[in-house]
Amino acid sequence: MRLASKRAPTRTEPLPLDLDNYMMALLTWVTQKLSTNASGLYRKLYGVGISEWRIISYLAVRGPGTGAEISEFQGLDKAAISRTIAILRGKSVILAGEPDGRRIVLSLSEKGVVLYNKIVSTALAREDVLLADFTDEERKLAIQLLHRMHKNIPRVVEFGNDLVKQARRRK
């Protein structure tokens, strides 16, 4: 495991961190900037932001699903998903099936499919602009590396949980 420094930290001296080469920061910055821009653009052009787009695209690509399934797949907060689902239902973009206990299956309405088809064209065009300087091989490699990182997320979560357990034992 890589450590920030071999020196013992002091109260007055921060440990070094090379932000230009710190993967977590780079991923966050790229994702946040793209999401913020997409949200404003989609809101101006289509009347929905990035939160709505994430649900619309999930239902278009993966088919009917529940709020919990969308939340799990996208790693988003269930409460935020529920609020966004209510907005989309109010706009008649998604349909809700009959409740089965606490489970409600959602799907796109015809209006939702039309909206998805409009936005997906813009989303794919934005991706082409982002990756314009990449060769086909670099695009494939970038996607492979992102999939590998995504696969490792449970390890990162487990690592964090272990740190919390260790900290609790020290108290």
What's the confidence (pLDDT) of residue 117?
98
What's the confidence (pLDDT) of residue 4?
55
Given a cut of 80, whether residue 59 has pLDDT beyond it is: yes
Amino acid 125 reads A
Which class in CATH covers the domain with range 40-130?
Answer: mainly alpha
Q: How far apart are alpha carbons 64 and 30 in whole angstroms? A: 30
What's the confidence (pLDDT) of residue 22?
96
Given a cut of 80, whether residue 161 has pLDDT beyond it is: yes
What's the confidence (pLDDT) of residue 87?
96
Q: How far apart are alpha carbons 100 and 15 in whole angstroms? A: 52
User: Each residue of 133-154: pLDDT tens digit?
Assistant: 999 999 999 999 999 999 999 9
User: Each residue of 82-138: pLDDT tens digit?
Assistant: 999 999 999 999 999 887 777 899 999 999 999 999 999 999 999 999 999 999 999
Given a cut of 90, whether residue 55 has pLDDT beyond it is: yes
Q: How confident is the model at residue 3 (pLDDT cuts 50, 70, 90)?
A: low
What's the confidence (pLDDT) of residue 6?
57
What's the confidence (pLDDT) of residue 8?
60
Distances (CA, A) of 17 to 6, 14, 25, 26: 13, 9, 10, 13
User: Each residue of 16-53: pLDDT tens digit?
Assistant: 899 999 999 999 999 999 999 999 999 999 999 999 99
Helix (H) or strand (E) holding 108: strand 106-108
User: Each residue of 64-79: pLDDT tens digit?
Assistant: 999 999 999 998 899 9
What's the confidence (pLDDT) of residue 7?
57
What's the confidence (pLDDT) of residue 102?
78
